[in-house]
Amino acid sequence: MLINLTNHPSARWSEKQKAAAEEEFGEIVDMPFPEIREEGCEWYVSDLADQYLRKILNMPDASPFVVHLMGEQTFSYALLKRLRARGITCVASTTKRIVKEEEPGRKTEVIFQFERFRRYE
């Protein structure tokens, strides 16, 4: 099972990303990434990471599982440390950045194309 803890629900993933996730991890379960208050201090982030650790550990039928964790850096790092300390594998999705410019310096389109899942090590 892959617990998708990101700002990107799996329903909006490309077919390539869905297929890779299902092949490597099986079922995909979305867990919305929390909104992290900009004014929140380190203790706030730490407490939020503790809350999400409990949510993950208390998920029904969530064993074995891998956590796809991407989002606000300080929260992701705090939660990643907690998950890894419990032997839980975490992954990030890697993308190829494609930039399309109509004219130099004018209207740019940026596309992020999924490439693979990479384990945090």
* pLDDT 10s digits, 53-107: 999 999 987 678 999 999 999 999 999 999 999 999 999 999 998 888 777 777 6
pLDDT given at position 101: 78
pLDDT tier for residue 111 given thresholds of 50, 70 and 90: confident
**Prediction pTM value:** 0.89
pLDDT above 70 for 115: yes
What integer pLDDT is reported at residue 102 of this predicted model? 77
Beta strands 106-119 and 90-103 are antiparallel
pLDDT at 46: 98
Residue 57's contacts (CB-CB under 8 Å, 6 or more residues apart) are 86
- The overall longest dimension of the chain from CA atoms, in Å, is 52
Q: Which is nearest to 81 in space by CA: 95, 67, 94? A: 67
Report the percent of the chain where pLDDT is more than 90.
82
Q: Which two tokens stand for residue 104?
A: 């130099």
In the prediction, which pLDDT does 62 show? 66
